[in-house]
Amino acid sequence: MPELARTFRDPWWIIGSAAMVLAGIADIAPQDIDVLCSRADALRLREAWRGHADADYRPADGTRFRSTFSRFVHLPMPVEVMGGLEVMTAAGWQALVVHEDVCLDIAGDALRIPTLREQRRILLAFGRDKDLAKAARISLLPEPPHVA
């Protein structure tokens, strides 16, 4: 996703089902590509891709998540961008922070994903049935190779 790398200035990650596929977990079929980034980068991308936004789309579970959100539909798979994502927890709103990640070389582009352990932690924090089922799929698979 070279367009993101050219637009973003802060660290960003692919999360969710697409990250699971990139980490080598079999039999996952992403419906979109979830991107976690800073609020500033989400706004920057919203401006750069303004003609491609799905303005009518509203993410489910709006009471559980908040972010600077946009969904773009001009690529082969929709891209959902969450800038400054926060998750409602028993302790209140908590910023989603990636503590451990790996960098993958995908067709010459460097893409960052959370480690499998981090992916599991994030999915458990999301707490929805579909996320808990995905978290259960993450086992002790080897991490993808590191790319500098």
Phi/psi at 75 (5° precision): -100, 170
Q: How confident is the model at residue 108, as a pLDDT? A: 86
Alpha helices in the chain (DSSP H): 2-7, 16-22, 39-48, 116-126, 129-137
- Domain 2-137 bears CATH identifier 3.30.460.40: yes
Give residue-wise pLDDT tens across range 67-118.
Answer: 999 999 998 899 999 999 999 988 999 999 999 999 999 888 889 999 999 9
Domain ranges in the chain are: 2-137
pLDDT, residue 148, reads 45
Burial of 97 (0-12, 13-18, 19+ CB in 10 A): exposed
Residues 129 and 132: their CA atoms lie apart, in Å, by 5
Asked if residue 10 lies in contact with residue 35, where contact means CB atoms within 8 angstroms, the answer is no
Q: Is the pTM of this model over 0.75?
A: yes
Count Cβ atoms within 10 A of the Cβ of residue 146 and give its class: 0-12 exposed, 13-18 middle, 19 or more buried: exposed
pLDDT exceeds 50 at position 17: yes
Note the pLDDT of residue 141.
52
Instruction: Summarize the confidence of residues 136-147 as an average pLDDT.
Output: 62
Segment 26-43 shows an average pLDDT of 95
Torsion of CA 37, 42, 48, 52, to 10 degrees: 100
